[in-house]
Amino acid sequence: MRVLAIDQGTSGTTAIVVNDGRVVASVTEGLRPTYLSDGRVEHDPAALLTSVLDAGRRAVDAAGGAIDAVALANQGETVLAWDPASGEPLTTAIVWQDSRAASVCADLADHAERVSAVTGLVLDPYFSAPKMAWVRRHLTREGVVTTSDSWLLRQLTGELVTDVTTASRSLLLHLDSVTWSPEMLAVFGLGDEALPRLVSCDEVIGTTSAFGVEVPVVGLLVDQQAALLAQDCRAPGETKCTFGTGAFLLTSTGVTPTRSQSGLTTSVASRLRGETAYCLDGQVYTAASAVRWLVDLGVIARADEVDAAAGVDPDESVLFVPALAGLAAPWWRSDATASLHGLTLATDRGGIVAAVLRGVAAQVVDLLAVVSTDVDEPVRRLRVDGGLTRSRFLMQAQADLAQVPVDVYPSADATALGAAAAAVIGLDPSQSVSDVVGGWSPSMTYEPQWSPDRAEEHLGRWREAVALQWGQAREVMA
């Protein structure tokens, strides 16, 4: 079976053709969101669609044969308004990193506890519903307002749908019943909206001829859950982190929608063959985007120079809090800004680059700490994927600071492979989920090289830097 799997992400769209589990073609079309000084982050919807069509068609051409299905993974909490009759966008696409809806969340602060109880999420502008409400308050009352996947799927199939994993990132889904919540829709003033139909990840939602012959569209997941599936993190406690535009840590809780007691969020991990699985998740908003920031500042010329620039920083004296787009779990400070600590006249660019990479790794460690609290046992091994796993410095820093082995997924296309796996599961009943995603071996394993004392000393200073700036020190991370 040949599946065209498309990963529509923040920094680009990757399309792969998978034939019986083997990637036979891979094409990436780059994208660059517009970052504005007031916390706005936007995509041009036309650029999103063009990247999907161009990457998909180029991948099919490179594979040299017809495809049997199209699958789509999406960037999650990005929203736009659009005309359901014509499909024309009515606004820009407001990206998940965008913080303009903080005012909506402030207005609804009295509902925060109830929102978390129903949805498993935190009342924060990161998620879809506050952005949707902001669009309705400030931009347009026309058309529909949805996440970007629904708009893209309308372009491909004519259907108005979203999958349950993407919906679970909206603050509008009842986590236990996996249905739209009338209560939450009322809270956000969205009760009159025409909502997408909720579908399973392995459900055929329609057909498309956008990439050649007409084929079914099946295999729909939000990007991080797609990577979780590809890495076969299905047993409770199994954990992965994707290092892309941001860094996203997800831990499987199996069929139990465990609510976090430590500042993480709970989402639907998948719905496959009628069974709903759940996961805990935490976010570092800037990972590869922090590296891009270094490039934009001229600290390094290209992203692939990070390891050479980081070099050796013997005293690890410079510390970086990677809050370039705010702080997510477990702090949830959308107003946070980044900071460098410990600069002296002796600090060179290598010290700054090393501090940025270690800052990302340190925030992931704090996510691991709160995951361990929620699941009542430590994470003993971390599976990783994404473009930044090519940085040996970052991956070694992750192993050193977390004090656990770090297993690198053998493909750069984990997200797209997860979507492809969901498509195969939906179309081929003869294969079990384990048949489709199990049995992979890491391309590299990083073992901790620092002593536990050295790691704890560095993390202690980093946490002091966070607390110094934001007063958000938490006992669970002490």
What's the per-residue H, E or C state across 410-477?
Answer: CCCCHHHHHHHHHHHHHHCCCCCHHHHHCCCCCCEEECCCCCHHHHHHHHHHHHHHHHHHHCCCCHHH
pTM above 0.75, yes or no: yes
Tokens 């349950």 found at? 164
Domains of the chain: 2-231 (3.30.420.40), 283-408+448-477 (3.30.420.40)
Output the pLDDT for position 336. Answer: 85
The least confident of 150-164, 226-240, 383-397, 462-476 is 462-476
Mean pLDDT, the chain, rounded, equals: 93
Encode pLDDT of 59-71 as tens digits.
999 999 899 999 9
pLDDT band at 470 (very low <50, low <70, confident <90, very high): low
**What percent of the chain has a predicted confidence (pLDDT) above 90?**
84
CA 21 to chain centre: 23
pLDDT at 371 over 50: yes
What's the CA gap between 78 and 73, in Å, rounded? 13
Q: Which pLDDT band, with edges at 50, 70 and 90, does 474 fall under? A: very low
DSSP 10-60: SSEEEEEEEETTEEEEEEEEE--PEE-TTS-EEE-HHHHHHHHHHHHHHHH
204, two tokens? 């055929």
Question: From residue 151, how far is each of 74, 88, 93, 220 by CA, in Å?
Answer: 11, 9, 10, 13
Which residue's structure tokens are 């690890």? Answer: 316
| Segment 236-264, tens digit of pLDDT | 999 999 998 889 999 999 998 989 888 89
**Type of residue at 191:** G
Q: Give the integer Cα–Cα distance in Å for 98 and 328.
A: 12
The identity of residue 225, as a single letter, is Q
What would the mean pLDDT of 18-23 be, rounded to a whole number? 92
Cα separations in angstroms, 16 against 2, 73, 85, 202: 10, 12, 30, 18
Helix (H, G, I), strand (E, B) or coil at 238: coil
What the block records as the tokens of 353 is 């680059």
* Residue in this structure with the two tokens 């990193």, named with its chain if needed: 97
Q: How confident is the model at residue 231 (pLDDT cuts 50, 70, 90)?
A: very high
- The answer for residues whose C-beta is within 8 angstroms of residue 402's C-beta and 6 or more apart is 361, 364, 365, 368, 379, 382, 448, 455
Residues 435-466: pLDDT tens digits?
999 889 999 999 999 999 999 999 999 999 98
Distance in angstroms (rounded) separating the CA atoms of residues 222 and 142: 26
Q: Cβ contacts of residue 299 below 8 Å, gap of 6+?
A: 309, 349, 352, 353
Mean pLDDT of 312-332: 82
Q: Which residue has the higher pLDDT, 477 or 459?
A: 459
**What pLDDT, on the 0 to 100 scale, is given for residue 467?**
85
Q: How high is the pLDDT of residue 272?
A: 97
Rounded mean pLDDT of 5-27?
95
Question: Beta-strand (E) ranges in 261-414?
Answer: 265-272, 275-284, 319-321, 339-341, 382-385, 406-408
Give residue 182's pLDDT: 98
CA-to-CA separations, 424 to 68, 71, 103, 304, 410, in angstroms, rounded: 10, 9, 42, 34, 20
Q: Which amino acid is at 310?
A: A
What does the block give as tokens for 334? 């959308």
